[in-house]
A = this chain, B = another copy of it.
Amino acid sequence: MPALAIAVDLGGTQIRAALVDEQGEVTRRVAVATASAAGPAAVLEQLGSITSSVCDGVAGDRILGLGICAPGPLDTIRGNALGVPTLAGFVDFPLRRMLEERIGLPVWLENDGVAAAIGEWRFGAGRGWANVVYVTVSTGIGGGVVSDGRVLRGRQGMAGHVGHMTIFANGIACACGNGGCWEVYGSGTAFVRRARARAEADEATSLRRNIVYVDGAAVFAAAANGDALAASLVAEEADILGIGIANLLHLYSPDVVVIGGGMSANFDVLYPGVAARVRSAAMVPFRDTRIVRAELQDNSGLIGAAAIVFDAHRSGGADRPCHLPERRAEHPAAAADAS
């Protein structure tokens, strides 16, 4: 029987778990509402229970381990949640170790954006490329980076927090505390916020009829029906996404940028505006970089989390990609500062 990995996507609203095989096929999937306000002990209990449920009837020796992804910031090197805004009590919480003790299997923890990047790189729209930037545009903006054929991790595994780069300096306040982040301008949440505000002031738009129920899909639908305000909102959203993507080209020089998350449902509508901004904002040698839609839908993270387990197993378990040792302390200043 082929080997399997348990994959878990721990979100603020849902915990999703799946069994995934080495070809990235999701063979079983379950979901529960996250007890997000109840604290780490309750969530651990949920994780144990959903893991048992997804493995029910499967021979234990087929299961190599569990890959779990969650919103950052996480210290994926040590396996700790540093402070997940949507999960009460997940502050400096040793999630990997606690979960290993709970389920008796090796666990790998990864940022959800990075896990989705790995999924798309291995089995989706980034397949075959050495340099992949994945961006999820949804409630927020997250992402992950593969560079020179390796997952970019950085200190504490925190590289790739693309949503919190400032693109409008001193701009609108972001939930992270900064002003002007890409996320607070370009996320699906921001798109809907602008749509509601502008619809209030625009007598001609069809969006006015039911402003409090306006969501992203409604704006795209209105734009498709010729609503001028909706079309301008879509154009503005595409432009904002293009500004951030052009930055990522200069910073990471990917072969391909893969766009996922809820907003990617309308990728084809957004693409011309994104590409136009990239052409004007990126230096010439970067302009021909592919920008494509994610292929694994909402399974990117699960499939990526499982891929981490298989990779670690293939390399003999010694090289846990999420537990890279940090190099330290040859430098006198480093030695003095390290704690």
Give me the interface of A with B, judged by CB distance under 8 Å. Answer: 73, 75, 82-83, 125-131, 147-150, 152-162, 164-169, 176-179, 240, 243, 246-247, 250-256, 280-286, 289-290, 292, 324, 326-331, 333-335, 337
Contact = CB atoms under 8 A, between A and B. Distances in A.
A148 B328 contact: no
A32 B166 CA distance: 40
Nearest to A335: B128
A74 to B, nearest CB: 9
A167 to B, nearest CB: 5
Copies in the complex: 2
A316 to B, nearest CB: 19
Contacts of A283: 73, 161, 164, 176-178
Given A83-B284, A168-B169, 10 more contacts: A128-B327, A129-B327, A129-B331, A159-B251, A162-B250, A162-B251, A167-B167, A177-B280, A178-B280, A251-B251
Contacts of A281: 166, 178-179
A164 B253 CA distance: 12
Contacts of A129: 327-328, 331, 334
Contacts of A160: 251, 253
11 contacts: A73-B285, A126-B331, A128-B328, A128-B329, A129-B331, A129-B334, A131-B154, A131-B159, A179-B281, A251-B252, A255-B326
A143 to B, nearest CB: 9
A253 B284 contact: no
A170 to B, nearest CB: 8
A250 B131 contact: no
A328 B129 CA distance: 6
A155 to B, nearest CB: 5
Contacts of A250: 161-162, 164-165
B165 A285 contact: no
A161 B248 CA distance: 10
